[in-house]
Amino acid sequence: MTSDILNSLKKQKSTREPLLQTLKSLVDEGVKKVDTYHKHYDYETRIKTGLIAGITRSELYASQERYSFYSDFKRYGFLSRLIPFTYEYPIDRLDKIFHYIMSGKAEDSNVYVPKIRQPKKDEHYELNEQLFSRLQRISIELAQYSDSYGIRVQKNLQKLCYANALLNKRDYVADEDVAKILYLSRWMNFNFNPL
C-alpha cells in the first residue's frame, strides 16, 4: 500500500518505465526473477502482490505539456490491471474533516480495521458463475477506460469478493460479497462521485 504513488513514478522516463513494467508483472502474472545492477533475486515460485495507491486527479490527467499517468498506464497495459476507485468529498463531509483537524475530535468516528485471515498457500475460492456474472457489467464498463475486454477486471473483482468473504470469516464467496462489490462500484470509475 502506498498513499502517494507519485513519489515512485515522478522520475525520469528511464526510471519510470521499468518500474511500471515491474508493477504490471507483480500485480498480474507475478515475478520469479529480478536482476538489477545492485541486486539479484531468484524465487522458487512467482511472487504476486496487490497494489493500493493514491494519486491526485490533476496528476492523473496532467495537461499535454506535462507527463500524464493515465496515458502511460493505458499505453503499458497497466490500466487494465487496475480497478480505479475515485471519490469526491461532499460539503458536509468536508465540514466534519475540518472540524476534526481544528478540534482533534471526530463526531462520528467508528473506524474499525478488522484482521483478515491469510488464505493458505493452496487455498482458492470456488468459482460461482451465477454470482460472478453479476460483476460482468462493471468489468465491461471499466474495460472501456483501458481499451481492453475486461477479463483482468473480472478476475480482480472476483478476488475482491473473496477478500470480503475473508473479512467476514468465510472461505467461500456469498451473495453478500458480490453485493458489497456492486455497492462499491459506484466509485470504481474515473468520475469522482461524492462519497
Render the burial of 158-187: b for 16+ CB within 10 Å, e for the rest. bebbbbbbbeeeeeebeeebbebbbeebeb
Model pLDDT for residues 27-37, shown as the tens digit of each residue: 888 888 888 78
Q: Does position 178 have pLDDT exceeding 90, yes or no?
A: yes
Q: Are residues 103 and 178 in the same domain?
A: yes
* CA distances for 172 relative to 14, 94, 165, 167, 168, angstroms: 43, 38, 6, 11, 10
User: Among residues 50, 80, 110, which one ends one of the domains?
Assistant: 80
Q: Are residues 122 and 179 in the same domain?
A: yes
C-alpha cell belonging to residue 6: 507519485
pLDDT of residue 114: 66
Model pLDDT for residues 40-71, shown as the tens digit of each residue: 888 888 888 887 777 777 777 775 555 677 88
C-alpha cell belonging to residue 59: 496528476
pLDDT of residue 133: 92
- In angstroms, the CA 20 to CA 45 distance is 21
* CA distances for 98 relative to 33, 104, 115, angstroms: 47, 9, 29
Q: Are residues 75 and 32 in the same domain?
A: yes
Model confidence band, residue 1 (pLDDT cutoffs 50, 70, 90): low
Q: Which neighbouring-strand residues pair with 53?
A: 2
Among 5-9, 50-54, 63-67, 156-160, whose mean pLDDT is lowest?
63-67
Pick the residue with more confidence: 165 or 4?
165
Q: Are residues 107 and 168 in the same domain?
A: yes
Q: Does position 13 have pLDDT exceeding 90, yes or no?
A: no
Q: Does position 77 have pLDDT exceeding 70, yes or no?
A: yes
Q: Are residues 181 and 98 in the same domain?
A: yes
Q: Are residues 95 and 27 in the same domain?
A: no
pLDDT of residue 101: 67
Q: Are residues 139 and 175 in the same domain?
A: yes
Domains in the chain: how many in total? 2
Integer Rg of the chain from CA: 19
Q: Are residues 43 and 11 in the same domain?
A: yes
Q: Does position 193 have pLDDT exceeding 90, yes or no?
A: no
Pick the residue with more confidence: 162 or 105?
162
Q: Are residues 66 and 131 in the same domain?
A: no
Q: Are residues 182 and 113 in the same domain?
A: yes
In a domain, 155, yes or no: yes
Q: Are residues 140 and 178 in the same domain?
A: yes
pLDDT of residue 51: 79
Spatial contact of 134 and 180, defined as CB atoms under 8 Å apart: no
Q: Are residues 57 and 113 in the same domain?
A: no
Pick the residue with more confidence: 150 or 108?
150
In a domain, 192, yes or no: no
* Residue numbers of the domain that contains 61: 6-80
In a domain, 103, yes or no: yes
User: Among residues 33, 57, 80, which one ends one of the domains?
Assistant: 80
Pick the residue with more confidence: 187 or 67?
187
Distance of CA 156 to the CA centre of its chain: 9
Instruction: Print the SS3 string covering 55-96.
Output: CCHHHHCCCCCCCCHHHHHHHCCCHHHCCCCCCECCHHHHHH
Percent of the chain at pLDDT exceeding 70: 84
User: Among residues 24, 45, 80, which one ends one of the domains?
Assistant: 80
